[in-house]
Homo-oligomer: A and B are copies of this chain.
């Protein structure tokens, strides 16, 4: 591992930064399916330039998702430090709002053709640890029911992002948040056992 990180030429560094920024915005708007040519066009460079800095489209996408995850972890930790009981709720609703603005991130989470844990094991691990922590904090503070774990929270994030994306309208979304919040609160009476569990079959074709 004799690192010889020859310093990037000035124009190359500029282009690389520009591509990253533009890819960031473009993946957010259009999702992971957007053609590289489109990103190149918006960045004012050729497709070849994109590929010199990032060997594949996938690697560019990963770089951006990793950065996003880091931001979210940092932001959430700050929120939870300020108010441990509310940290988890702040996180959940922030994630939902990301669903409205960042299609790429939503796809990375929902895992349609993108395995987060396999592609970015470190970032995924840190993210999961953060969720585990703020969930435990909230449960200790008594604001969240104790029978949930980090995997349940991740599931809720996927659901919230899907809902938020479905409803471009953020006003209407305010009607659904309270439902989720009420559901996450510590129940003060024994739960009615869940009926049916949805395993009854529909007739087929």
- Chain B contacts of A89 at CB under 8 A? 195-196
Tally chain A residues at the interface, Cβ within 8 Å: 62
Is A2 positioned at the interface, with any CB of B under 8 Å from its CB?
no
A198 to B71, Cβ gap below 8 A? no
A177 / chain B contacts, CB cutoff of 8 Å: 194, 197
Question: Is A13 an interface position by the 8 A CB rule?
Answer: no
175-205 of chain A: CB within 8 A of chain B: 175-185, 187, 191-192, 194-200, 202-205
Q: Is A148 an interface residue (CB 8 A)?
A: yes
Whose C-beta in chain B lies nearest to the C-beta of A149?
A: B175
- Chain B residues near A160: list those with CB within 8 A: 159
Whether A179 contacts B90 by the Cβ 8 Å rule is no
Given contacts A175-B152, A176-B155, contact A94 B166 (CB under 8 A): no
Contact of A110 among B148, B154, B162, B202 (CB under 8 A): B162
Q: Are A24 and B205 in contact (CB under 8 A)?
A: yes
Interface residues of A in 95-153 (CB under 8 A from B): 96-98, 110-111, 145, 147-148, 151-152
Q: List 24 A-B contacts (CB under 8 A).
A: A21-B205, A71-B202, A75-B202, A86-B196, A90-B200, A94-B198, A96-B198, A98-B202, A110-B162, A111-B166, A147-B175, A152-B172, A155-B166, A155-B167, A155-B176, A158-B166, A159-B159, A174-B194, A179-B180, A179-B183, A179-B184, A182-B182, A182-B185, A182-B187
A-to-B contact residues, CB < 8 Å: 20-21, 24, 67, 71-72, 75, 86, 89-90, 93-94, 96-98, 110-111, 145, 147-148, 151-152, 154-156, 158-163, 165-167, 172-185, 187, 191-192, 194-200, 202-205
